[in-house]
Structure 1
Amino acid sequence: MNSEIAKPKNEFSLALVGAGPRGTSVVERLANLALKLPAQGTVLKVTVFDPFPPGSGHVWNPKQSEHFLMNTPSSFPTVAPERLGDEPGLSFRQFVALRGDGRKLTDEHAKLIGQIEPGSYPSRAIYGEYLEHVYERSAAILATHENFSIEHVAAEVVAVRPVGNAYQIDFRSNLEGAETRQLAADAVVLALGHQPAELNPWQKQLKEAASQAGATYLPPNVPADLDYSQFKEGQPALIRGLGLNFFDGMAELTAGRGGIFREAGTEPGHRLQYIGSGREPALIVASRRGTPYWGKPVVEQFIPDEIELRYFDAPELIGSLAEARATNPASSLVFSRHIWPKLHRDILFAYYSTCARAHGAPEGLDEREFVDQLEAILSAEHHEGSQVWLSELRKFVGQFPQLQWLDVPKLARPFEELGFSSDEQYQQAVRDYLVGNARHSTGGLEDPLSCAIMTMNAGRMLVKELIASGVIDEQSRIEEIQAHFEPLVEGLSSGPPLERIEQLLALSRAGIVTFLGPDPEFGFDEVSEQFTASSPWVDAEVHTAKTMCEAMMPSNRVLQNNAALIKQLLGDHVARVHTWKNTEGESLPGSGFDVVGEPYRLVNSDGLAHRGLFVLGLQLSSAQWGTAIAAQAGDLRHPAARTLQDAANVVNEVARLAGLIANERLSAEQH
């Protein structure tokens, strides 16, 4: 075993495990720090571990298929603050505006980047170019600074062990038979990103049955890692999941096999016609709700400036909680009592006020009178958590036949308890639903439903901040937010660009895609040696196929992750999973590591926080919510920029431990 433990005096070593977006933000913030520090004696030696190229990491490889799109508009995501003058920093939208900021791009990417607009949804390959550029530019700054050094090691870290006041890093390359090497570090940052995970019992059963019968079972995976050659042309394939992974696969198996989406008109829902190549498989697709995620409204911003929250005021809630904690320190916010009644008001106000603005007020009222009466009902004083206002609003809306009641929770379940007498009837019902999606989303800010959905998304970002602040009751978070609100808001706000909905409609009409039905039931028939799938809500024959694909990412639960490092951290008691107690007093495991403080320090099995072992990103899912969402470009004080704040907090603390800065902290806003 090759040991590399020794180090010179006046050197502080940092191991950064993972060089995807979160790791890149750390390197960029280190570069920012380097440009502000005067020359001094201590050297901060940074070793970056990732078997994949730093910057893009595993998920954002610039060489992946151009058919894999981002699910946020180009104006939204960033791994660095906005560049101001000669300062470091560079948002993705600045990278696009600068046509790559001097990065050498392929001819294809140079052409594509010139076509990106603020409301465009670029390919993940283009975003990978941006990530690598930010990393390389930041690493170059560190490499030329006398107090810093940086090295990328193309290897997988398989263990991190405390040794005195430092840590031993075990790592090895992906080469078969490669030996495990060691390196000592004073501090470690875990920015691991997506990790492989164990299948659930039902998935294991399907995989085993398929293996014995010679059928093909494709488990959850990163879309770029999926072997699409397993889908045989002209043959049926079952796909479970109608989220973003599905749309990536759909594009790769159609346009990626030579099919053409041809313009067919301007009417929403009828804009494309699919001309097949004959090499496509027949896709039989399903999800619990029976429909794909809602295609995003056509706007330039992730959440437009015009979208506002009138009733859901996070600072006000935190202030009232502080007062409550003065008498009861255990007080916390409950979603159904303190948050949803306020956010629900905002969603309905956005919907009905937009109805009046876009289509005119109901007969007998002008727009101002209608909105005034709407506000009076929504602003009426009731006891905390009261839903009385909802009945009053129903009565008000019911006076106007031209206005429909917006049942917000039902938006996530459009076919709930609806039966269909034939497969053809269900196909048409889904197409009608998708055409409605196209019409609403095309309307953007002029469409009432689109405004309601974007308002809900704005509320989600505040809920994320409240969770990260630790003020929401954990049982409420698990049983109300994650079990009910998350499926609602994810299905409506985290969907694909509208282009994907138009493509799906074209594929449905061409017979390439068949929708299975709500609450699908999957199995494996050992006699025919095929997967089976059906829906209890559609009266149709059982679908069969020799291929089945789980169109979803591997589970983001550290107890289910089977990566060597995560298993070692838990097995050697270096880390523990976060647990929470329900009202019955039962201790239940959460999804992420147990961490404490900001920056987030890993907690060991004895409940003690490590001095120099920090966590960023997906494995913070018990301390944060929506950890896969990128930081939003713009104001770093905005809750949507939290991932940049997390990176800045880690860098400031590492610099303090290294003696590069005094105890005063450099703020995340400083460039």
Structure 2
Amino acid sequence: MRGGRAVGAIVVIGAGPAGTCVVDRICAHAPRPGNGHAVEIHVVDSGAPGPERASDAAPAGGRAVHDAPRGVRVHVHHDRAVGLSESAGRQLVRLLGGGTLGADAVVLAQSRPGVPLGPAEREEALFAARHGLLHLPSGSDQKHLENVPAGEPVLVRGAGRAFIDLLAPLTVGRGGRFTRGRRGEPVYLPGGFEPFLYAGSRRGVPHHARPGYRLAGEARTRRFPCEGDARQATAKELAYAYYQELFTAHPSRTRTTWAAFEPAFARAEPGGKEMRALVTKSVPRFADRLHLDRLERPLHGMRFGDLPGLQRWMHGYLAADLERRADPAFSPDLALVRALQDARSRMAGDPWFDGLSGLLADGPSLDRQAELHALARAGIVTFIGAEPRVEQDDGGWRASSPTVPGVTRARTLMEARPRPAPAGSADPLIAGLFARGECREAAGLLDVRPADGRLITGDGSVHGRRFALGSLVAGGTANDGPATLLCRADAVARAVLSQVSRAPAHAAA
């Protein structure tokens, strides 16, 4: 292909599972040569060749580097990408070792960036050092997780995405395994080297699993006037999307039609008596009605006599979530998720919205949620309630919650709460994008358009030439599994190739 013309140049930053998977999918979908055209892929990763790197990070990614098909050239740069700028639409990736890579599109697929310790975490770390304890801050990597002692209680502060990410290395990564029960559900068989994880969070429950089905009815959104309260207007938009799917896709569960319900709903004040009466009259089953307050705070006002009582409730909560997120009969839940994603362009940064969005739209896959349920049934994971209070004492840490009496003590404390926004990232490329308003935070990570991974900028617009996927982005976790990662990487690859095919041709190297 030397001397030919390139369809486009693509830079993929990061050679872990996400990066190698998207390289593989680009290779799979790239146009085959027939007229001298070519696709140039530059993979940038600072790690030396080896496990989880560009040359053999995953079987598919290793083949992509060494056995790229005709029409595709893959170059590996053992360097660190420290800046991303733009000139006349051309993306310019600055390398730590010097030099710049020009590209028609860039895919950010690096690992979740580190964030400097805040004052509270620094104080916890000093306390741990003084008393011979272990404190692991948010984003601790595999090397640090190896220090977590086996067979001992460990307090985990947070039950969301970061909590899900740390489960695999502390369980199956230590010799445990999942098998199948009588009904096909995963059952965890301990390896004997796991810690016992006691998890508490503001809500006391993990994020909901992502729905495993498609919308069955119409998919239209409607904006409502703000009138000084953006949260109320947004809540009404979410309810509108939910009930539209219920009425159009499942009319047998309603007492009227969408055509009759919609204008009355549009006139009603959000959360007012008129709206409540309308929903009660039109939707007979309580389970079919949307209760955002119950979703947001499921343990609010609940008290249990002891920790085993709370665990029985939690097991039922997880089982119900798995059933609902796997059954297309509950497709209104997916409509609610889609409406949350649409509203991010306006509401990102609002604590109420970010919390609700993370809870309902950024949870694990069904498989990961089922494994969490199995770990809870096996006693590896224990939930300690909502609004946990973690205090120091001479022997370590103790945690208590208004949900249940008593305290839980441990000599290890792990942070799994939402990370700070990318503005505080230790990754200079991401920090630079954020400082210039060229990316936007969602739940402490990068916000992207779910359909194709295009980066969303600070003003809510979608960047045509910048993409991101993997644990770096909102809604992506480190342990989503190969099927989910493959699906996302495939969508990103198609969008990238569609973009670069429209770019001016450049001379191939």
Contact 1:195-1:554 at 8 Å conserved across structures: no
Matches for 1:445-460 after TM superposition, within 5 Å: 445-446=328-329, 450-460=330-340
Q: 1:478 aligns with which of 349, 370, 383?
A: 349
Q: 1:304 aligns with which of 187, 211, 214?
A: 214
Contact 2:150-2:194 at 8 Å conserved across structures: yes
Match of residue 649 from structure 1:
499
Q: 1:537 aligns with which of 393, 403, 414?
A: 403
Match of residue 212 from structure 1:
130
CA apart distance, 1:515: 1.1
CA apart distance, 1:340: 4.5
Match of residue 278 from structure 2:
393
Match of residue 98 from structure 2:
182
CA apart distance, 1:414: 0.7
Contact 1:11-1:44 at 8 Å conserved across structures: yes
Match of residue 196 from structure 1:
114
Matches for 1:328-347 after TM superposition, within 5 Å: 336=231, 340-347=235-242
User: What residue ranges of structure 2 are gaps of 5+ in the alignment?
Assistant: 448-453, 459-463
What is the CA–CA distance in structure 1 between the aligned matches of 2:271 and 2:370, rounded to whole Å? 38
CA apart distance, 1:288: 1.7
Contact 1:601-1:614 at 8 Å conserved across structures: no
What is the CA–CA distance in structure 1 between the aligned matches of 2:361 and 2:101, rounded to whole Å? 41
Q: 2:360 aligns with which of 492, 498, 514?
A: 492
Match of residue 617 from structure 1:
468
Match of residue 16 from structure 1:
11
What is the CA–CA distance in structure 1 between the aligned matches of 2:372 and 2:383, rounded to whole Å? 11
Match of residue 461 from structure 2:
none
- Structure 1 residues 246 and 142 mapped into 2: Cα distance closer, same or farther (>3 Å)? same
Deviation string, structure 1 residues 260-286 (Cα, Å, up to 9, x no partner)? 5555543x9xx5655544433221112
What is the CA–CA distance in structure 1 between the aligned matches of 2:144 and 2:468, rounded to whole Å? 27
Deviation string, structure 1 residues 67-105 (Cα, Å, up to 9, x no partner)? xxxxxxxxxxxxxxxxxxxxxxxxxxxxxxxxxxxxxxx
| Cα-Cα RMSD | 5.2
CA apart distance, 1:349: 4.8
Match of residue 372 from structure 1:
256
CA apart distance, 1:518: 0.5
SS of the residue 2:321 aligns to: helix
Deviation string, structure 1 residues 587-645 (Cα, Å, up to 9, x no partner)? xxx9879xxxxx98999xxxxxxxxx9743279x9xx97688989969x9xxxx57753
- Structure 1 residues 17 and 381 mapped into 2: Cα distance closer, same or farther (>3 Å)? closer
CA apart distance, 1:254: 3.5
CA apart distance, 1:540: 1.3
Contact 1:296-1:495 at 8 Å conserved across structures: yes
Matches for 1:534-573 after TM superposition, within 5 Å: 534-541=400-407, 543-551=408-416, 555-557=420-422, 559-563=423-427, 565=429
Matches for 1:90-101 after TM superposition, within 5 Å: none
Q: 1:429 aligns with which of 304, 313, 320?
A: 313
Contact 1:272-1:502 at 8 Å conserved across structures: yes
- Structure 1 residues 386 and 130 mapped into 2: Cα distance closer, same or farther (>3 Å)? same
CA apart distance, 1:490: 3.3
Q: Which amino acid aligns with 1:539?
A: P
Contact 1:48-1:153 at 8 Å conserved across structures: yes
Match of residue 290 from structure 2:
406
Higher RCO (CA 8 Å, separation ≥ 6 residues): 2
What is the CA–CA distance in structure 2 between the aligned matches of 1:52 and 1:187, rounded to whole Å? 22
What is the CA–CA distance in structure 2 between the aligned matches of 1:538 and 1:197, rounded to whole Å? 33
Match of residue 153 from structure 1:
77
Q: Which amino acid aligns with 1:151?
A: H
Q: 2:436 aligns with which of 574, 577, 593?
A: 577
Contact 1:602-1:615 at 8 Å conserved across structures: no
SS of the residue 1:195 aligns to: coil
1:141 paired to 2:71: yes
Contact 1:55-1:132 at 8 Å conserved across structures: no
What is the CA–CA distance in structure 1 between the aligned matches of 2:265 and 2:187, rounded to whole Å? 53
Matches for 1:347-386 after TM superposition, within 5 Å: 347-351=242-246, 357=252, 370-373=254-257, 375-380=259-264, 382-383=266-267
Contact 1:237-1:546 at 8 Å conserved across structures: yes
CA apart distance, 1:562: 1.4
Deviation string, structure 1 residues 551-578 (Cα, Å, up to 9, x no partner)? 4685451x211135556x58xxxx8332
CA apart distance, 1:291: 1.0
> What is the TM-score with the length of structure 1 in the denominator?
0.57
Deviation string, structure 1 residues 423-457 (Cα, Å, up to 9, x no partner)? 33322322232233344345x123xxx32322222
SS of the residue 1:516 aligns to: strand
What is the CA–CA distance in structure 2 between the aligned matches of 1:402 and 1:161, rounded to whole Å? 52
What is the CA–CA distance in structure 2 between the aligned matches of 1:30 and 1:659, rounded to whole Å? 19
CA apart distance, 1:478: 2.8
- Structure 1 residues 32 and 219 mapped into 2: Cα distance closer, same or farther (>3 Å)? same
What is the CA–CA distance in structure 1 between the aligned matches of 2:384 and 2:176, rounded to whole Å? 23
Q: Which amino acid aligns with 1:216?
A: L
Q: 1:292 aligns with which of 203, 206, 226?
A: 206
Contact 1:55-1:131 at 8 Å conserved across structures: no
- Structure 1 residues 220 and 419 mapped into 2: Cα distance closer, same or farther (>3 Å)? same
| Matched pairs, number | 477
Contact 2:197-2:380 at 8 Å conserved across structures: yes
What is the CA–CA distance in structure 2 between the aligned matches of 1:228 and 1:576, rounded to whole Å? 31
CA apart distance, 1:533: 2.0
What is the CA–CA distance in structure 2 between the aligned matches of 1:273 and 1:46, rounded to whole Å? 42
Contact 1:520-1:535 at 8 Å conserved across structures: yes
- Structure 1 residues 36 and 548 mapped into 2: Cα distance closer, same or farther (>3 Å)? same
Q: 1:282 aligns with which of 172, 180, 196?
A: 196
CA apart distance, 1:522: 2.5
> What is the TM-score with the length of structure 2 in the denominator?
0.72
Deviation string, structure 1 residues 455-479 (Cα, Å, up to 9, x no partner)? 2223345446xx3xxxx4xxx4432
What is the aligned-residue identity percentage? Answer: 19
Contact 2:207-2:363 at 8 Å conserved across structures: yes
Match of residue 178 from structure 1:
none
Match of residue 232 from structure 1:
149
What is the CA–CA distance in structure 2 between the aligned matches of 1:129 and 1:437, rounded to whole Å? 34
CA apart distance, 1:290: 0.6
What is the CA–CA distance in structure 2 between the aligned matches of 1:413 and 1:397, rounded to whole Å? 25
CA apart distance, 1:396: 0.3
Q: Which amino acid aligns with 2:78?
A: A
- Structure 1 residues 390 and 222 mapped into 2: Cα distance closer, same or farther (>3 Å)? farther
- Structure 1 residues 138 and 416 mapped into 2: Cα distance closer, same or farther (>3 Å)? farther
Contact 1:17-1:188 at 8 Å conserved across structures: no
Q: Which amino acid aligns with 2:133?
A: A
